[in-house]
Structure 1
């Protein structure tokens, strides 16, 4: 009951330096070629979760989600092979981490630091229901365990800093895959990427979708930063 009460009520904002350190650490995580391959799994979870949620919202039949050790993932759904439903489903992946991060910064701005952590746990457990491979299950359980441990046992300042780190990591981390997929496209190594699929579905060039995903990520990062530090 204490955890539930703490999750729903507003907490005092931590010192500004805590938020700054959290944002810097999130940026370093995304920029580090050593840490990023591990941390990227969280972006993949959010990315595939976006596909899955859009598929269900559009009335498609969700078969499941698979997460792979190379940080790739796939969401399988069935329904009409063309039309708004499948377009929305394919398009939802790249913006999902940015939108989740933006929502998290909005909650942080009103002092709901513990609520952000609990919502992250809820989203991970919801993903667990649709995961269809062992690595995906393990990845979700480890992530859930880390967040729960900090939520339950860490002092308030650490909880607040970790919540801010998650929000900033989602905002910053959403941008790097957009850059990566465009690099792969230039080398003709991503013929089945989301932008290429959207190009075939809509007739719009894949570069349009890459640009749209990038602008969405940048916009969410700017709004999230204003909410957190404004």
Structure 2
């Protein structure tokens, strides 16, 4: 019982497990074309989606909404390995986008608007950053579904590549856009795709700026409060 409580405390709302899972999702993104490798990556994705719900500080209604959206997202995520149809691809991208939007917004609210300068907060900040990138990767996938030819890889349309390989490229494209270090090998060709790309770049820049300002202000407030307490304590001793 004691071990269970320790494990629960370690994973519940601390981002201890979610952060390494998100890092692994990108580092080992499914760029290989074997049948086994995408399945292993899907296991990581499944774990990341579940811990995005249970290893974060969500309100009750947010957790319920995320759980409802996670169910079809996970179903389509595994179904795509066996039935690579356009309908399954769209279902995966659509429900994953909604799920990530809910979870990411909730985590950003937790770590930025209610920020405290702790290791947990810093882990949550990084988790939110990774989730934003993954969210936009799915958004680009949805846009490509409705507007084929929106994304070009090495100046070639992406119609001929598999869903797994395409999403791997979208992860890469999304992270380089968020970090504003795009290399031009993956580009948005149409107006909507270009607009979304710019929006993601703006979010990446403002996220860092707002986050740093918020953490500095919270830290300064904490230092001021500690100083006031010490002064009051010294005054009481003097009197």
TM-score range, shorter chain: 0.3 to 0.5
* TM-score after normalising by structure 2: 0.32
TM-score between both structures, scaled by the size of structure 1? 0.33
Larger RCO, structures 1/2 (Cα 8 Å, 6+ apart): 1
Structure index of larger Rg: 2
